[in-house]
Amino acid sequence: MSSAFNFVSHLAGEKNAAICSAGLVAAVVAISAVKAKSSLKREPNPLVPDSRLSLRALYDLLGGFILWLGDSAMGKENRKYLPFAGIVFLYVLSLNLLGLIPGFLMPTDQFQFNLGMALTVFVMFNYWGIREVGLFNYLKHLWGPFKGIFLVLGIILFPIEVISMCVRPLTLGLRLYGNMTGDHLALAVFTDITKVLVPVAFLLLGTIVCFVQAFVFALLTMIYIRLAVAHGEH
Amino acid sequence: MRLISSVLLVAFGLLVMVEPAIAAEGAAMAEHAGWAAIIGMAVAAVGGAVSQSKAISVALESIARNPGAAGQMFLPWLLALVFIESLVIYALVIALKLVGLI
């Protein structure tokens, strides 16, 4: 299997391809979001949706979906963290979908890149958790319920909790990376074997995987945030 | 003290003698990496398929009993499927690494 032709690595070099295409996607997402926002301001009645699929309608759809996801995964009381989780979803989704355009490779099939995104999520939810409940309560939460037998059991539970907390960015990055790489490899193998028609099914599968993995990344981000900022009543 | 140091010395000597054998074994392992990838991936796929089918069948049964609860069950169910699936994905990553595809 030869490595596929890639516009970005052709222009920016093999080493910088992932980071350059990520910057390209970030620029596209930012510019389209600003355009959608300004078209929302120009509208006399923004509550009425557009009659056809415009940029604003697309962002309405995505925003509604992100709001539903956030309300069911984080709860209505944590809506102030929704913009972060929402932009994580949009960004990962756009990065994944870039791989479906011929001549581009997705940056999410580089483990280091996913690890960077996952570490951002890790730092943010720890920061919010500590800001919400205080450093001592945050650590106490890892110890388990602070009474009775659990005071002693915490000696065993605390290291386990800390380890499971610290592998969260690793698993978050590795899951996305494994899925995207595996899917891309399956597509490449079946395109090599059968030149016509069968790759279409794998492209369809690839589109579904792109959506599902972005969804899962955002869902896990939201759940980690909810677990971090929860006030324990025990 | 002398006992401990002599034991450590003997252990180190053994390690030095054993080291070439380990290296030879490593070369033999690299030969069988393809088989390791195939068997590991097969076992991971079987485990993932069995556990996911159990999760799906239980979820469908409970939706059939109480269709009103389908909306509430959707996210936890999807999360469980994702956690099962990610274990298979770790096996896939290791298998791809073994055969040198990544």
Are B61 and B21 in a shared domain? no
**Band (A56; pLDDT cuts 50, 70, 90):** confident
Number of folded domains in chain A? Answer: 1
Give the separation between CA A141 and CA B67, rounded to whole angstroms. 36
**Which pLDDT score, from 0 to 100, does residue A1 have?**
41
- The stretch A190-205 carries a mean pLDDT of 89
Contact across the interface for A174 and B92, Cβ inside 8 Å: no
Question: Are B9 and B50 in a shared domain?
Answer: no
Confidence label for B19 from pLDDT (cuts 50, 70 and 90): low
Are B24 and B38 contained in the same domain?
no
C-alpha span between A180 and A186 (Å, rounded): 10
Q: What is the model's pLDDT at position A213?
A: 93
Same domain, B77 and B100: yes
Q: What is the predicted pLDDT for the residue at A141?
A: 84
- Using the Cβ of A213 and the Cβ atoms of chain B, whether some distance falls under 8 Å is answered with no
Mean confidence (pLDDT) of chain A: 88
The answer to whether residues B86 and B76 belong to one domain is yes
The pTM for the full model equals: 0.83
Residue A68's pLDDT band (boundaries 50, 70, 90)?
very high
For residues A86-106, average pLDDT: 91
Is residue A146 one of the residues assigned to a domain? yes
Residue A124: predicted pLDDT: 95
User: Does residue B47 share a domain with residue B11?
Assistant: no
Average pLDDT over residues A57-67: 91
Smallest CA–CA separation between B89 and chain A, in Å? 6
Q: pLDDT-derived band of residue B27, with 50, 70 and 90 as boundaries?
A: low
Q: Note whether A73 contacts B: Cβ–Cβ < 8 A.
A: yes
Higher pLDDT, A197 or B43: B43
Min Cα–Cα distance to chain B from A25, Å? 24
Residues of B in contact with A174 (CB under 8 A): 86, 89-90, 93
Q: Which of A37-46, B3-12, B46-55, B56-65 shows the lowest per-residue confidence on average (mean pLDDT)?
A: B3-12
Same domain assignment for residues B52 and B88: yes
What pLDDT sits at residue B14? Answer: 60
CATH number at residue B58: 1.20.20.10
DSSP state letters, chain B: -HHHHHHHHHHHHHHHHHHHHHHHHHHHHHHTHHHHHHHHHHHHHHHHHHHHHHHHHHHHHHHHH-GGGHHHHHHHHHHHHHHHHHHHHHHHHHHHHHTT--
Residue A234 forms part of a structural domain:
no
B60's CB contacts (< 8 A; 6+ apart) are none
What is the average per-residue pLDDT within B52-81? 92
Percent with pLDDT over 70 in chain A: 97
Half-sphere exposure of A36 (CA within 13 A, CB side): 19
Whether residue A202 lies inside any domain: the answer is yes
Same domain, B27 and B56: no
Beta-carbon separation of A174 and B82 below 8 A: no
Complex ipTM, two decimals?
A: 0.76
Residue of chain B whose Cα is closest to the Cα of A182: B92
Residues of B with a Cβ under 8 Å from any A Cβ are 75, 78-79, 82, 86, 89-90, 92-93, 96, 101-102
Lowest mean pLDDT among A29-33, A117-121, A183-187, A221-225: A183-187
Mutate which: A181, A208, A215, A221, vs B, most B CBs within 10 A: A181
Asked if residue B45 and residue B27 are part of one domain, the reply reads no
Query: CA-CA distance, A59 to A33, in Å (whole number)?
Result: 8
**Interchain pair A175, B102: CB under 8 A:** no
- Residue A126, CA distances (Å) to A8, A50, A112, A118, A129 in order: 35, 40, 21, 12, 5
CB distance B86–A178 less than 8 Å? yes
Sign of CA dihedral B85, B90, B93, B95: negative
For residue B82, which residues of chain A lie inside 8 Å, CB to CB? Answer: 175, 216, 219-220
User: Which of these ranges, A7-21, A42-56, A200-214, B9-23, has the smallest mean pLDDT?
Assistant: B9-23
Domain that holds residue B47: 32-102
Q: Which of A72, A178, A182 minimises the CB distance to B75? A: A72
Q: Are A25 and A94 in contact (CB under 8 A)?
A: yes
A113 inside 8 A of chain B by CB: no
On whether the CB atoms of residues A90 and A29 are closer than 8 A, the answer is: yes
**Residues of B with Cβ-Cβ distance to A179 under 8 angstroms:** 89
Residues of chain A positioned with their CB less than 8 A from the CB of B102: 181
Number of domains into which chain B is organized: 2
B6 — pLDDT class (breaks 50, 70, 90) = low
> Counting every residue, how long is chain A?
234
Look at residue A213 and tell me if it is in a domain.
yes
pLDDT at site A233: 56
Range of the domain at A68: 7-229
For residue A91, tell me if it sits in a domain.
yes
Q: Buried (b) or exposed (e) across A119-134, using 16+ Cβ within 10 A? A: eebbebbbebbbebbe
Instruction: Test A219 with B96 for CB contact under 8 angstroms.
Output: no
**Assigned token pair, A220:** 């896990």
Q: What is the pLDDT of residue B100?
A: 83
Question: What is the rounded distance in angstroms from the CA atom of residue A66 to the CA atom of residue A75?
Answer: 12
